[in-house]
Structure 1
Amino acid sequence: MPRGQFSKRADQCDTSALLNLICNCKGFWFVDPKVVREVIRSRNELMHSSEFHMSDDWMRDFQSSLKCFVLQLVNQNPQMETVARQIDVMLKLDLSISVDCRDGVEADSMCEASPSADSVRQWEAELLQELLQEFLHTPAEDEDADAPDTEQLTTLCGFLEANKDLGQRFSAEIQLLNSRKAKGGGGGANEEV
């Protein structure tokens, strides 16, 4: 690790540190440092933007450099194919938020012309809470198409656990979902969180 961080283990590092490790470590000889630097540059632009708002062109460039980077890892380690698919699914998600203030929304903060990052985080947390409640209160016996399956639960739990703030906020729900997953069921109408 650069700048005296040689005692750190990979599981103690954030994304930025891991990208720097890959870029500087001779053990990653199979990865083109230019590609890694491009991913680092994109990551820094996003993380240092005041509104986390990037243009469509920026997003296309980022997707291209990220796919190129992941492809180099997949070529060396076929197990990375699963990660590549997960990243591809994530990059195809439409994460735009549209608020229609004509629907009688009472909260004035939701009708801001340009919502703040805190407002967006609050909306995201509320949406995640609704999704978790839906999963937790869907009977496992339901054969409906909209009943959550084990893969959806695994993906959601993995996402929440990978994001420490969300993992802490929804720890009780994650425990219930994990216990349901272990039992092989989706949701349960009788359990409360």
Structure 2
Amino acid sequence: MILEELRARLNDAGYKNWLKAGCCLLALKGALHDFLDSEMKRFHDAAVRGHAALGRARCRSTCRPTGNQLRSACRVCSKWMQEILKHHTSPAAVVNWGNCRPWLWPSEHWEVAKAFMPRGQTDVTRAEQCDAAALLNLLHFCDHFSFIDQSLVKEVIRSRNELMHSCEMRVSAQWMERYQKSIKKLLLQLCHIPAAAAANQQIQEMLSVDWSVHIPGVDAVDGSQETRLEPEYISQWETELIREQICEILTQFDEEESIGVQDLESLQHLCSFLQNHADLKDQFKTEIDRICCTREKLQSKTPGEDVRHQH
């Protein structure tokens, strides 16, 4: 039944494109992990060498953010905040201090990296735990990466947001063509990194093969059959992408003070999509329950409340 459900979804060209685009993001993410981890170690080492007190001193107060704010920070954490802001490419932007465990800034480079990322990174401790959005934002907001063409980074971020915020979970062939070009251009900026070159090749091969699902004993097979992706791989990628989308949308609703009608519609569509596919309904049962609870809370807002989405 699982293969039949997956095959039915892949018969929708728009959904298949959505899934292919998401798989490109997964390949990009894999290419960036080690590179960004190594570069942020260099960034951290340079900060400590430039300001010896940043490395020697330790936070004795275990300073913790309240929500997304870090108020009344100790002298050590205040110096690290200043260092982070000095290297932030958009000082006027919201810095997600809530991602960080400030008392670890002197010793843990990835805790510093998380200050340049979108919210929701609090429990992340290593580069490989980050999704593509987190890594792309680090590339964009930390000036250590100014050697990369930032217009290319911004274009991939924009496309990624369109993809993951698509309530229909469908994209057109024209959108897909532009998106492939933008990812390829970004990876070419990193062609000196073996993992980036490998990801570029992986993406080209992945998109060139047949994404249809063959069900043994049901479908006829001939000798001229195209090379196919194994259904298990497609299903695994689909699960990872849907889980990322659920996590992002629930994080947004948990942390935003006001939500708009469009956001509520997106939540309802996601819930309906999962419930209308038996295999996904079973696999994401816990997540569906959370989505339904969140939806009910939003629907219970009184007419007098502000339900505009804040950007």
TM-score by length of 2: 0.30
Structure with larger Rg: 2
TM-score by length of 1: 0.47
